[in-house]
């Protein structure tokens, strides 16, 4: 599961070979049904904004998007909602951290944790995208984040994590060849390159999109 994430640094300062929008605004609490920055495999090598929540071409209305924020990497080729996009429409979803919630044994409480690269540099989730035509004829670009089993770090917090692609496989993931074998890429990112700490439950409210969301709880009152 990946239900919230951040992009607080400009990826244009770190990722080469791609074009980015000229204006960057840091985001500390990106939530489903909100815009996110992604690079689709449309041959342009350019980042653009997508709605987080996949709408397959056959979706009758936009309500379906709220239920389509994550796709299990293990079953992409089997699910009708994802088969076509997995074959033809893949993307890099840009982030520099994400949140997962740790259950507290014996209670209903969950503690949010912020998970990020030790380098503090941005990275890319593996994603799928669609260009959906609504009943009124307007078009909406939508996407979904692919998940996998957790690495050792994330396993202590949650039982799933987003697939994070290292830069050396970006070209492979964005390849437009429908016959390329990509399943080997949908694996947990090595735990030794990542870190995590608990944060305030203010992140639970999508309206809170501020730097305080990523402050460790030991530094909060």
| Encoded tokens for 187 | 């694996």
Is 192 tagged catalytic? Answer: no
What does the chain come to in residues? 221
Hey, what domains does the chain have and what are their CATH numbers? 4-219 (3.90.1680.10)
**What's the pTM value of the predicted model, to 2 decimals?**
0.96
User: What local confidence, expressed as pLDDT, does residue 220 receive?
Assistant: 52
User: What local confidence, expressed as pLDDT, does residue 70 receive?
Assistant: 98
CA distances from 42 to 48, 72, 112 (A): 11, 23, 35
Phi and psi angles of residue 145, each rounded to the nearest 5 degrees, phi first: -95, 135
Is 78 tagged catalytic? Answer: no
Catalytic residue among 74, 78, 91, 100: 100
C-beta of residue 187 within 8 angstroms of C-beta of residue 165: no
Sequential pLDDT tens for the chain (221 residues): 799 999 999 999 999 999 999 999 999 999 999 999 999 999 999 999 999 999 998 998 888 999 999 999 999 999 999 999 999 999 999 999 999 999 998 898 999 999 999 999 999 999 999 999 988 888 999 999 999 999 999 999 999 999 999 999 999 999 988 877 899 999 999 999 999 999 999 999 999 999 999 999 975 54
User: What local confidence, expressed as pLDDT, does residue 61 receive?
Assistant: 87
CA neighbor of 123 nearest in space, from 161, 160, 94? 94
CA distance linking residue 72 with residue 53, whole number of Å: 14
């Amino acid at each position: 599961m990946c239900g919230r994430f951040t992009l607080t640094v400009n990826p244009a300062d770190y990722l080469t070979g791609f074009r980015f929008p000229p204006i960057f605004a840091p985001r500390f609490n990106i939530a489903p049904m909100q815009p996110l920055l992604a690079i689709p495999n449309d041959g342009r090598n350019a980042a653009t904004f997508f709605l987080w929540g996949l709408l397959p071409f056959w979706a009758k209305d936009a309500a379906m998007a709220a239920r389509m924020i994550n796709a299990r990497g293990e079953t992409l080729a089997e699910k009708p909602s994802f088969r076509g996009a997995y074959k033809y429409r893949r993307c890099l979803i840009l982030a520099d951290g994400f949140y997962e919630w740790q259950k507290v044994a014996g209670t209903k409480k969950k503690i949010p944790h912020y998970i990020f690269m030790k380098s503090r540099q941005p990275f890319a989730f593996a994603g799928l995208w669609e260009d959906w035509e609504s009943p009124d004829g307007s078009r909406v670009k939508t996407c979904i984040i692919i998940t996998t089993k957790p690495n050792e770090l994330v396993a202590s917090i949650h039982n799933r994590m987003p697939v994070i692609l290292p830069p050396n496989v970006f070209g492979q993931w964005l390849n437009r060849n429908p016959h390329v074998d990509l399943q080997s890429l949908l694996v947990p990112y090595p735990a030794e390159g990542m870190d995590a700490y608990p944060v305030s439950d203010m992140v639970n409210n999508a309206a809170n999109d501020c730097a305080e969301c990523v402050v460790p709880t030991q530094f909060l009152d």
